[in-house]
């Protein structure tokens, strides 16, 4: 591959959001929503909308744990970021 | 015009380099850009999150992070964050 033209499709590159989503399933994550509340848990499944299902979820707000949920669904439009709490 | 560069080509050239992301609200992120998509959702590593308030800047360190593009306002290639 000696083509000097830029890659036409950055979405297919490794490190892209879709690649990240594939690798992060089953890992412990921190999901922060727009209001600044955090949800720590085991990421069981997600989709391209950033809809997220967590297990063993802890809700953190203002520096303290405010709730625990066995299972938890977060609608993607509220998600600010999904951050890995362990190495991928 | 072969010399024109699309905005997202500029972002594509930042992959692997530090970048400073400013959100629509008083939140900012710095990190190394791993990739992005058509919505400018971004994957960053070695991330620092900054919340800028009148009282000061609070800083949070994060591992590899997928940042939702919905609230991104501005990208500064090579930017070191609000403290620099």
DSSP A54-71: EEEEEEEETTEEEEEEEE
Give the CA radius of gyration of chain B.
13
- Cβ separation of A20 and B35 shorter than 8 Å? yes
Burial class of residue A55, CB neighbours in 10 A (0-12, 13-18, 19+): middle
3-class SS of residue A78: helix
C-alpha A54/C-alpha A45 separation (Å) is 7
B78: closest CA of chain A, how far (Å) = 18
Interface ipTM: 0.90
Query: Which of A5-9, A33-37, A42-46, A55-59 has the least mean pLDDT?
Result: A5-9
Lowest mean pLDDT among A11-20, A39-48, B44-53, B71-80: A11-20
What CATH number belongs to B12-77?
Answer: 2.30.30.100
CB contact under 8 A, A11 and B38: yes
Domain residue spans of chain B: 12-77
Query: A44 lies in a domain?
Result: yes
Q: What is the pLDDT of residues A43-64, one digit of tens each?
A: 999 999 999 999 999 999 999 9
Are residues B58 and B50 in contact, defined by beta-carbon separation less than 8 angstroms?
Answer: yes
Residue B84's pLDDT is 74
**Contact (CB, 8 A) for B30 and B47:** yes
- For chain B, how far is it from start to end, CA to CA, in angstroms? 37
Length reported for chain B? 84
* Closest CB to A50 among B27, B38, B68: B68
Partner B contacted by A8 (CB < 8 A): no
For residue B51, give the chain A residue with the closest CA. Answer: A36
**Does the beta carbon of A49 lie under 8 angstroms from any beta carbon of chain B?**
no
* Degrees to nearest 5, angle at CA A81 with A44 and A33: 90
Domain CATH for A59: 2.30.30.100
B63/A83 Cβ within 8 A: yes
Q: What is the mean pLDDT of residues B59-72?
A: 96
Dist. CA B74–CA B20, nearest whole Å: 8
Strand partners, B73: none
Nearest by CB to B43, from A6, A15, A79: name it: A15
Give chain A positions within 8 Å (CB) of B71: 34, 80
Q: What pLDDT sits at residue B1?
A: 67
Q: Is A10 among the domain residues? A: no
Q: Return the number of other C-beta atoms located less than 10 Å from residue B27's C-beta.
A: 19
For A38, the domain range is 15-84
Q: Work out how many domains chain A is built from and give that number.
A: 1
């Amino acid at each position: 591959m000696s083509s000097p033209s830029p890659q036409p499709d950055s979405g297919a590159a490794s490190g892209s959001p879709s690649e990240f989503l594939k690798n992060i399933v089953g890992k412990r994550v921190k999901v922060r929503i727009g209001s600044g509340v955090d949800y720590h848990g085991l990421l069981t499944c997600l989709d391209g909308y950033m809809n997220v299902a967590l297990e063993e979820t802890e809700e953190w707000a203002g520096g303290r744990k405010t709730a625990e949920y066995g299972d938890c669904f977060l609608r993607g439009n509220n998600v600010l970021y999904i951050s890995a709490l362990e190495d991928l | 015009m072969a010399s024109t560069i699309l905005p997202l080509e500029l972002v594509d050239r930042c992959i692997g380099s530090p970048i400073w992301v400013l959100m629509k609200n008083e939140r900012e992120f710095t990190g190394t850009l791993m990739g992005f998509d058509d919505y400018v959702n971004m994957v960053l590593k070695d991330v620092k999150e900054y919340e800028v308030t009148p009282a000061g800047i609070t800083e949070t360190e994060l591992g590899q992070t997928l940042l939702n593009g919905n609230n991104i306002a501005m990208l500064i290639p090579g930017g070191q964050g609000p403290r620099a």
